[in-house]
A = this chain, B = another copy of it.
Amino acid sequence: MTDLIAMGKAAKIAGRQLATLTTRQKNEALLAIADEIEAQSSVILAANAQDIDDGRSRGLSDSLLDRLLLTEKRVTGLAADTRKVVDLPDPVGKELESRLLPNGMRLSRRRIPVGVLGVIYEARPNVTIDVATLSLKAGNASILRGGSETLRSNLALVTVIQTALRDVGLPQTAVQYIDNPDRELVSQLLRLDEYVDMLIPRGGAGLHKLCREQSSIPVITGGIGICHIFVDESADLDRAVDIVENSKVQRPSVCNALDTVLVHPAIAQDFLPKMALRLAKSGVELRASSEALDILNKLQHEAKVVAAGPGDFDQEWLSLILGVRLVANVDEAIAHIQKHTTEHTESILTNDWHNATKFVNALSSSAIFVNASTRFNDGGQFGLGAEVAVSTQKLHARGPMGLEELTTYKWIGYGDGHIRP
């Protein structure tokens, strides 16, 4: 039987030890993990092959099976990713500020690890390595719970990690995995606030809702993006087509992919057909508001266009579908976005200084772009080196979460007999 309280206690103790490690010690552990991944490649692949077999007989789609699949090349990639984490700067120990108070006490604020992370995720087994290695680099212990489709792969990977930890003299409980597929254990994990400091769900809207509603641990919500582009009257239309295409088509299944394009009426007659013809090449289906539909219908059968139904502007499509609507001006675009957004990513395409400024100032989404693709809201693109999640909440971290966002801080007051008057 899985004893989550015992796992939590062990994680807390391991976390205290990790918090005092030097960067060199943490990097040694990461390099040992990378080596062990390569050494155990055949074991990992065998476990994954069983997962894939099971998935195929359970009727999982080919595209999902491809996401779950590990190949020799992908395993080598896992080791390479781990070595990249070695190269990332250690966020722990940085003095965020330091000053002398008027009473002569020196006060500093120092970055420290969060402690214990709980991570609930679905699908791809590389998340196991990503999350475990980034947690370790930031000095945190982690308790992982992956999807049942890759249970064997995940267990093989966690064994690899724990072996490497043991080999470098670190506690194996620094990375633990909940191997019992019973959903009740997720509920238990959500109440483990005595031991787990931060909960990171990585999955669909349902998982985020469950965590927000049931967790007594602070949750990082995010990863759900109803993303908008507003094509303003003054936009360069050719570039606008490129940006909309890139935002929608480059990787439609991810959270920063475009969901709704809002178009200024003055350029709709020119822009919409150009856009529709370009998107048609990638097989994008358009869900158009009535005014947009009037324009797009003139294209006849060159593009897939249907009338937008109720709720179509509240969809994170995650597929080759795009909502299209005309809005009178930037104010109406902002109003539409405020009504429908999940505060993930929005972009305005314009050559108008006033409208760009208004758009940037009025919206509070985690990332707002001017004349750029929504696909840039990403830890790698922002130069964070890695990404654990994309947060759309207002507390702690917003947008791509890198290593720094897996830390907190403490205040330190260096006195010399100071008492408060």
A: which residues have CB within 8 A of B? 16, 19-20, 99, 101-102, 105, 107, 112-115, 193, 197-198, 212-213, 216, 218-219, 236, 239, 242-243, 245-246, 250, 338, 360-373, 375-377, 381-383, 393-396, 398-400, 408-420
Contact = CB atoms under 8 A, between A and B. Distances in A.
Given A105-B372, A415-B369, A410 B395 contact: no
Contacts of A398: 408-411
Given A367-B410, A411-B368, A412-B367, A115 B394 contact: yes
Nearest to A360: B412
Given A250-B420, A376-B418, A419-B242, A369 B236 contact: no
Nearest to A338: B16
A395 B140 CA distance: 14
Contact of A246 (B362, B366, B419): B419
A371 B409 contact: no
Contacts of A197: 393-395
Contacts of A411: 366-368, 377, 382, 398-400
A276 B239 CA distance: 78
Contacts of A372: 105, 413-419
Contact of A370 (B16, B213, B236, B414): B414
A419 B396 CA distance: 29
A415 B360 CA distance: 12
A371 B410 contact: no
A412 B368 contact: yes
B367 A420 contact: no
A400 to B, nearest CB: 8
Given A16-B338, A394-B197, A420 B218 contact: no
Contacts of A105: 372, 376
A20 B418 CA distance: 42
A218 B211 CA distance: 11
Contacts of A393: 197, 218
A365 B410 CA distance: 6
A213 B214 CA distance: 8
This chain: copies in complex = 2
A65 to B, nearest CB: 27
Contacts of A239: 417
Contacts of A369: 412-415, 418
Contacts of A365: 410
Given A364-B19, A413-B376, A408 B394 contact: yes
A16 B297 CA distance: 37
A94 to B, nearest CB: 14
Most buried by B among A20, A338, A366, A382: A382
Contact of A417 (B213, B236, B381, B417): B236
Most chain B beta-carbon contacts within 10 A, residue among A245, A375, A399, A413: A413
Contacts of A368: 410-413
A253 B216 CA distance: 27
A39 B381 CA distance: 55
A370 B112 contact: no
B193 A107 contact: no
Given A236-B417, A242-B417, A367-B413, 4 more contacts: A16-B364, A218-B395, A370-B412, A370-B415
Nearest to A418: B372
A403 to B, nearest CB: 15
A419 to B, nearest CB: 4
A250 B134 CA distance: 44
